[in-house]
Structure formats: structure tokens, C-alpha cells
A and B are shown apart, each in its own frame.
Chain A
Amino acid sequence: METATATRAPPSWATRLAALLQRRSVLPTLLLIPVLVFFIIWNTMPTLWLLGLSFYRFSLTSGRPPRFTGFGNFQSILQDSEVWLALSRTFLFVFSAVGIETVLGLLLGLLFWGSQRLPGRRVALTMLFTPMVLTPVAAGTFWRLIYDPTFGVLNAALRGIGLPSVNFLGNARTAFGAVLAVDVWMWTPFMVLMTLAALASVPKAELEAAEIDRLSWLQRLRLVILHHGKFILLLGILLRTIDAFKTMDLIYDMTFGGPGSTTELVAIMLYRRAFEVFAMGWSSALAVILLLISIAFTATFIFVLHARERRSQDVPT
């Protein structure tokens, strides 16, 4: 007995480590740590910093230290008519852009889905997706040149058919529409992609059953295709909505928010106040408000998405 006790060596560190890793919760936690550290450093801390700064009056160029103002910045923003105008312009932009992109994306997606044996389909799809992979700054630059009333190809075409030149980006009446058109051109392919993904999720058997039941095309779309694909489509709409709400680079390059303030979306306003005027406290407060609006968008979409499921679960069987 004594001998047995004496010869049993304590488990080595490698054995103990292996035993530790075999526990279900340890290994995933260890693997998550680098991501969590990265997330905390690059996401959580700046967000908390932003939140803190939003309660201070701080201009980078005043030479004065930050001064605590409580909700002063938020109050100033809510009383600023220019902010409300920029917000209303942004919502108009978001709803117009996402609405048009969704409708066009759905139509084009259905077109490509229904023409799978069409020659050149792959080439056409590749070309269709090209705008989406361009950087907005590059797209903005060449669209600015295309729109140019003196040198632009679009105006050359207009003149070619006997129409007068139009200063698309320089006219207060046309600038908003011109910028919106570029956004639609860029992001409709994304909605096509989401539509194709949604269509791919529809079970073939159900489509065949719908065909046997002689459902009309619209009924098939509503009852079968959208029923199965709505989650992916709504996800696409949600992503586009949040992205369109943040539109900055495209407009910065094309109009810089002008002419006047006709294309000044709230993200441009935020950029200008933060990095041209250096009103850091005020800008942080506006960024917090925009973050809350984005969260509200997401929550609303998720709520709508799951409403039917909740309703069906609530119905007593």
C-alpha cells in the first residue's frame, strides 16, 4: 500500500491542461478570448468613450478642456432645425433608395431565377454585381464625371438627341435624385443577390406542389416563395436600411452635401461637425442618437419578422 502511494506521481501540467480543456465550457471560452479582447478594445471602449464625450462640451480647437454639460448637447441637437432637416432628408433617402432597390432587386432576381438556362446568364450576373463591389468613392468620382454638364457623357448623350444639358449635381432640384440614382445603381445588385438567396431557400417540392395545385404566379410568389424567403429578404432590407442610413462617402465625393444643403444627409452633417468644425461633444451626442436610431431600425425589423411566428404560437391548438 505504502509502495503504491509512493509511486503514484502527481498528474503532469499537460495532463491537467488536457483535462481542463475537456471540460465543455473551457475551450470555447479560451477560443473566444482574442475576439472578445478585440471587440472590447475596438468596439466597446470607443462606444463608451463616445457616450461619455456626448455629455461634454468639447471643441478640439478651442484650447479649453472639456466641460460637463449633462444633456446640453442632446438638447441643442433636438432644438436644431438643421438636424431635423438633415434627418428628414436622410429618411427620405433611405426609404426611397431601399424601396426602389428592393422592388428592382426582386424583379431582377425573379428574372434571373426563371432564366437559369439562358445563355450568358453568368456573365450578365457578374456584370450586374460589379457596381456593388466598387468602392463608393470610386463610384462617386466617375458618376460625378458622367453627370458633368460640360464634359460628362450623360450630357453629351442628351445633347446628341437635341436636349439641353442638365447640371444634375449642381441644381438644387436634381441633385438629390441624381445621388439617389447612383445609390440605386450601386445597391440594387445586393438586393438581387438576396432575392436569389431567398429563392434558393424555397423547397422544390413545395413549388412543384403549387404548380400541381395550379396556383397563379402571384399566389406562388406570395404563398410559397415569400413565405420561405422572407427572412433572407428582410435581412437584406435591414442591412440596406442601416447602410443607407449611414451613407456618407458617396455624397461626400459627389456633392459634398450641396448644392446648399439639398443632399446633406445626417452622416455628412456628423462628419462635417466632427472633422471640419471639431465640435467633438456635440458630434458625439449626434452619433449616439444615430446609433439609437439604427438600433431601433434593427429591433423593428426583428419584431416584424417574428410577429407571425409569435401569432401562430399564441393561437391555441
Chain B
Amino acid sequence: MQRNTTADVRDAGRTARGYAALTRRSLLGGAGAASVLGASRLARAADHPLKGQSIHMAILGIAGWTPSKLGVDLAPDFKRFAKATYGYDVDFSYTEAPFSQLFQKAATSLATRSAEYNIIISDSQWLGALAQPKWILPLDKYIAQRPGLNVEWFSPVVRSAYQAYPDGSPQRWGLPQEGDCMGLYIRKDLLEAPGEAESFQKRFGSKLPVTWEDFEALTFPDFLKLIAFFNRPDKGFNGFGAQYSREYDFISDPVMTLMRSMGGDVWDARTGQVEGILNTDGNAQALRQYKDLLRFEPGSAISYGVAELIDAFTQGKIFSALQWCAVGPAMITDALRDKVIVVPPPCFPTSSGKPVRNYIIGGQPWVINAFNDAAHREVALDFMEWWYTPETSLAFARHGGNPCDKATLTRADFDSIQPWFRTYKFMLNNSSDFWHDPAYADLLSVQQEGFTAYATGQASDPKHTLDYIACRQQKVLFDSGTAAKAPSAACSGIRL
């Protein structure tokens, strides 16, 4: 970082004429986007409107979420960069709230047109709820003006999940703070213990998956064999752990993953239709399947959220965990450093013979407060531009964050930087988002209630549970004007 900063200082000393010449030379030389970024920065550096000023920036981020915090931990580098490149002083403050309360904190502030938080680390599904009332800055104009923001992403899902609203539209409202996907964390020391492979072969007549490639090919039915094999409560550990908590979207993400990977869907994003799409027999089977996994999990798994799952895994209570790549630094503690392998979670066989993975994507975009004054908006954009420089992106990766830009993810050494990076990269192309709708919170609340009701035994019929959820979600979307159709007559008086 320091070397680049020095280079920037040198660059900043050049004249605008020199910049123009440099740009021409760079373009003619085919140096590409990196040079355009440098040139663009130099143009602003020559006469930056904030030169000589001091600016304070407030970031709202996610409590207990390492990549979110990294955005601020790396900010001192930007401070040096901004001083050297643009000539202004900047300092940052960081406010945080857990996932389940972050949107509440942001929304209540933004609803009063406050610039209390200049930059917000939002969850991807909130884009609609933040963009619809015009609380956040539409970014297309600024991306066009600043080549440094026009990043080539590793996968198209980055744009659809972290930037676009409405779904499928070209309009962009966010920029990826960090990407995230589900990975399967496996206790490699247990997997490779002497005698396990032979024992597995003897019991199931098939080879025990051991390598990353073995897991890439592992289907869900074979995965069930694996976690059944390593489910050893008598020895103090279970075969598997996943999230079932009612908090936030903890149970919804894996259940929707199963539904979509088994051929179903949760809604039609174009028409807002839920009934008839969510409440199908196939999705009911997926919901039942997810509950059945509890057989291989500790008794407390029914209450697991992200943090509880980390605890169970790091304390040796489970052999494997379906968990976000973003929490890799917390999942792979120093004590587990060489004892864990992060692999792709199982794929699902289809009638065509081609296995499918359609996992829910995680990750969070940066969004910029629309009520910022010009100075804070300018600094926020400078900060974003700095965030996507190859050096910052690499530093972020080395600190444990998941970048999304193609330049970093295609580096020859990328997979080896962190133990989960190979899986993260692989899963980016096997994941997608859900509901970028302003009614997201309402849809989620109903779904969390329904899924946990079924998982915990309050409701016994998965199909009826889905009927209930579909009816209520259809009403939410109809009332908000997203869905053209009202709930059907079958929804009248439906209860869990």
C-alpha cells in the first residue's frame, strides 16, 4: 500500500497536461482500465474541490461481521491516500448494529433525511427498500464519470445481487463491499483420520470424499451418507450444523437454497406472484428435507444462527457446517488452522443428469446516503474508487475479506490467500440473490415464522406451512402494488 501511495504522490504532482499525455499514451499503449483510473484520479487531484479541507465520514456497518469491519479497518490507508492524492484530510467513525437491526437503524435515520451515516453497508436484499424512497444515491452517473468505479466483476451475479434495482434493470444503487457465498466447512482432521476411509467404504460401498474435487462432485444424497457417517453424538460431536434460527434470514437462506437447487423457486420477480410458485410439492419436499437434517445435528441446532454455528464448529461439536465464507476468519481459528477444509456444498441431481447448485448468495453492498452534502458525496465516491483499486482489493483479501473484482479473483495466487477462497470463487457462479423488493422485511418476517414453525414442530405439514407463507406473502406484495394478483380464495382464514 505504501508503495502505491508514494506513486500516487508522484503522480499527483504532475500537471493536467501531463495527465492528458499520460492518458493518451496509456490508451494508445493499450494499458487498459487501470491506467484510465490513475489518469482520472490525477485529473481530480490537480484541482480537487476539497483540497485543504477536513472531512469526517460516518460509516454504518454490521456488528460482529468481520468483512464489514474491515471496510473501516482499512480506512486509515484511504486517509493517507486521500491526503497524498486529493489533498484533503479525512477521518472515519464507525457505527454498527447486528444484521437484524441494521436496516432499522439505517431506515429510521434516512427517513428523516439525515446524513448521520454517509456510507452504509447494506444487505443485498435491502437495495429495493433503500432505493425506492430515494434514500440512497443512484450510481450510474458517477460510475460513468469515474472509471475507477466501472469495475469488471468476476461474475454477473455481483451486479445483479449488489448493484441492480429493480431486478434485471440496468440501474445501479450499490457497489459490492464484500461478496459472500455459502461453503461447507469440514473437519479435515476427522475426515482424514486413519481407518475412516475404509470404514466408510465398507458401510456405504463408495469412496469417502476427501479432496476439494471430490466435494465438487458430491451430490446431496451422498452428502447425507457423509454426515450420517460422522454423526457420533456418543463421542461428543455430530455430523452437521446449519442455521435454523428465527432471527433475520437465518433459516430462510438454506431452505430457499434447497428449494431452488431442487428445481423450485420462491417467487416470480417479474410479476410478484408467490402463490403457486412457493407452495409446491417440490418445495414442501425441500423444506421437509432441511428439517430432516436435524437428525445429524446437535440438539441446540434448532436455535443456531451465524454466531451459534461458529461456536458449535470451533468448539468441536460438529464435523461439518454449512456456513458463509465471510465468517471464515471466525470459523477457522488458530487451533483449527490446518484441520479445516472449505469445500463446495453439495450439488443436487436433476432428471437431465446434470447436477445443480443454486445457492443463496450472501454479501453486502456499500450504498451512499442520498442526503450527503456535495463534499461528503465526493469523499464517499473517492473512497469507493480507492476500495476497488487492485492494491486495496488485495489488502482486503489478505485481511480475510471477499473481493468481487475479476482482477483480484483471477490472480494466480488468489485461491491460496485464504482457505475458503477457492470455494468462494467457485460458489459465486453457483449462487444468486432473492427479493430485491421494498417489502423484503415483510416477506422475510412471514417466511421466518413459517419455516421455524415447521422446523420446531409448531406446524406439522410442510405443504400447509408453505400455503400459509405463500398466502401472506401474496397479500404483502399485492398490497404494496408489486403483485398483480390478490391472494386466492384458498387463503381466506389460513393459519399455521
In angstroms, how far is the closest chain B Cβ from the Cβ of A100?
Answer: 24
B438–A61 contact, CB under 8 A? yes
B residues 399-454 touching A (CB-CB < 8 Å) = 438-439, 441-442, 445, 448-450, 452-454
Q: Please name the residue on chain B nearest to A62 by beta carbon.
A: B438
Out of B299, B317, B442, name the residue touching A167 (CB < 8 Å): B299
Q: Knowing A60-B111, A62-B480 touch, does A276 contact B300 (C-beta < 8 A)?
A: no
Please name all residues of chain A whose beta carbon is closer than 8 Å to the beta carbon of B259 when the two chains form the complex.
Answer: none
In angstroms, how far is the closest chain B Cβ from the Cβ of A186?
Answer: 21
Number of A-B contacts (CB under 8 A): 112
In angstroms, how far is the closest chain B Cβ from the Cβ of A38?
Answer: 22
Please name all residues of chain B whose beta carbon is closer than 8 Å to the beta carbon of A260 when the two chains form the complex.
Answer: 246, 449-450, 452-454, 456, 458-459, 496
Q: How distant is the Cα of A262 from the Cα of B444 in the complex, in angstroms? A: 18
B residues 286-321 touching A (CB-CB < 8 Å) = 298-300, 302-303, 311-312, 317
Q: Please name the residue on chain B nearest to A81 by beta carbon.
A: B495
Q: How distant is the Cα of A269 from the Cα of B164 in the complex, in angstroms? A: 32
Please name all residues of chain A whose beta carbon is closer than 8 Å to the beta carbon of B132 when the two chains form the complex.
Answer: 61-63
A257 at the interface (CB under 8 A from B): yes
B134 at the interface (CB under 8 A from A): yes
Out of B107, B133, B445, B458, name the residue touching A172 (CB < 8 Å): B458
Residue from A82, A150, A172, A255 having most chain B Cβ neighbours under 10 A: A150
B449–A63 contact, CB under 8 A? no
Q: How distant is the Cα of A272 from the Cα of B449 in the complex, in angstroms? A: 12
Q: Please name the residue on chain B nearest to A175 by beta carbon.
A: B456
Q: Please name the residue on chain B nearest to A280 by beta carbon.
A: B111
Please name all residues of chain B whose beta carbon is closer than 8 Å to the beta carbon of A278 when the two chains form the complex.
Answer: 107, 441
B445–A171 contact, CB under 8 A? no
Q: How distant is the Cα of A59 from the Cα of B438 in the complex, in angstroms? A: 10
Q: Knowing A62-B480, A172-B456, A260-B452 touch, does A149 contact B495 (C-beta < 8 A)?
A: no
In angstroms, how far is the closest chain A Cβ from the Cβ of B369?
Answer: 15
A59–B449 contact, CB under 8 A? no
- Tally of contact residues, B, Cβ under 8 A: 43
B247–A256 contact, CB under 8 A? yes
Please name all residues of chain A whose beta carbon is closer than 8 Å to the beta carbon of B302 when the two chains form the complex.
Answer: 167, 170-171, 259
Please name all residues of chain A whose beta carbon is closer than 8 Å to the beta carbon of B262 when the two chains form the complex.
Answer: none
A81–B493 contact, CB under 8 A? yes
Q: How distant is the Cα of A258 from the Cα of B302 in the complex, in angstroms? A: 11
A residues 145-198 touching B (CB-CB < 8 Å) = 148-151, 165, 167, 169-173, 175
Binary interface encoding of chain A residues 76-119 relative to chain B, with 1 for a CB under 8 A from any of its CBs, else 0: 00000110010000000000000000000000000000000000
In angstroms, how far is the closest chain A Cβ from the Cβ of B84?
Answer: 40
In angstroms, how far is the closest chain B Cβ from the Cβ of A215?
Answer: 51
A170–B495 contact, CB under 8 A? no
In angstroms, how far is the closest chain A Cβ from the Cβ of B236?
Answer: 10
B161 at the interface (CB under 8 A from A): no
Interface residues of A (CB under 8 A from B): 59-63, 81-82, 85, 148-151, 165, 167, 169-173, 175, 255-262, 264, 272, 275-279
Closest 7 CB pairs of A and B: A260-B453, A259-B456, A260-B458, A258-B246, A170-B302, A63-B133, A149-B299
9 contacts between A and B (CB under 8 A): A61-B439, A63-B134, A63-B438, A149-B298, A150-B312, A256-B247, A260-B453, A262-B453, A276-B441
